[in-house]
């Protein structure tokens, strides 16, 4: 009789422990699944535009960003980059690091505001193909730029998972009015194995 009771208790303990393990596994797979951060370009601002003889000699663009951590645990991001592209050529670059944004951590479910400034001097426009496009763009007084912002890091929990976020923006700078127009920004969702 004692042996039968011992087997019943052992069976119940094994069942309860197995149930707890399955519930914990499901919780980690569903609730704590690693998600990529979401980077949003809120505003593109023209900070500086210097023009000599109808040719830009310096362009400085500010990006106001929001980095959202949709995870249930902290996101630790590393030094990352933002680039300014004119007709396919990288003409301005900012390292999203100590000068602009220190590599750091965003708590679970939080959003962090960031500001990045991208600057191009005259030599950024003076490549062969860029000069051809610059001449034609200046005839209509609009310069078309693209930005690419990428931030990567790890999700901190029992195991570390690498995650990344990229956002692109297209916008025109009207040289005559010194304004930014036709701004279109897109967040690219990246799939990472978890």
Residues 6+ apart with CB under 8 A from 122: 55, 56, 57, 58
Residue 97 has pLDDT above 50, yes or no: no
| Structure-derived torsion over alpha carbons of residues 14, 19, 21, 24, reported in degrees to the nearest 10 | -160
* Residue 192, CA distances (Å) to 76, 109, 113, 149 in order: 16, 19, 24, 18
The tokens describing 83, both together, are: 């680039």
What's residue 127's pLDDT?
A: 55
| Pairwise pLDDT comparison (57 vs 155), residue with the higher score | 155
- CATH fold of 34-188 reads Immunoglobulin-like (2.60.40)
Per-residue pLDDT tens over the stretch 58-95: 788 888 989 999 988 889 988 888 888 877 666 655 54
């Amino acid at each position: 009789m004692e042996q039968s009771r011992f087997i019943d208790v052992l069976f119940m303990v094994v069942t309860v422990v197995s149930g707890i393990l399955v519930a914990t596994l499901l919780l980690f797979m569903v609730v704590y699944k690693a998600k990529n951060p979401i980077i949003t370009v809120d505003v593109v601002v023209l900070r500086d535009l210097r023009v000599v003889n109808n040719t830009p000699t310096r362009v400085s663009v500010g990006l106001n960003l929001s980095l959202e951590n949709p995870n249930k645990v902290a996101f630790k991001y590393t030094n990352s980059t933002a680039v300014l592209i004119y007709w396919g050529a990288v003409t301005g670059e900012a390292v999203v690091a100590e000068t602009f944004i220190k590599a750091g951590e965003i708590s679970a479910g939080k959003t962090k505001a960031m500001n990045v400034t991208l600057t191009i001097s005259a030599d950024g426009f003076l490549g062969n193909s860029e000069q051809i496009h610059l001449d034609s763009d200046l005839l209509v007084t609009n310069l078309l730029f693209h930005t690419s912002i990428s931030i990567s890091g790890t999700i901190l929990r029992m195991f570390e998972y690498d995650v990344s976020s990229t956002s692109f923006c297209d916008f025109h700078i009207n040289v005559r009015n010194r304004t930014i127009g036709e701004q279109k920004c897109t967040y690219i969702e990246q799939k990472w194995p978890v």
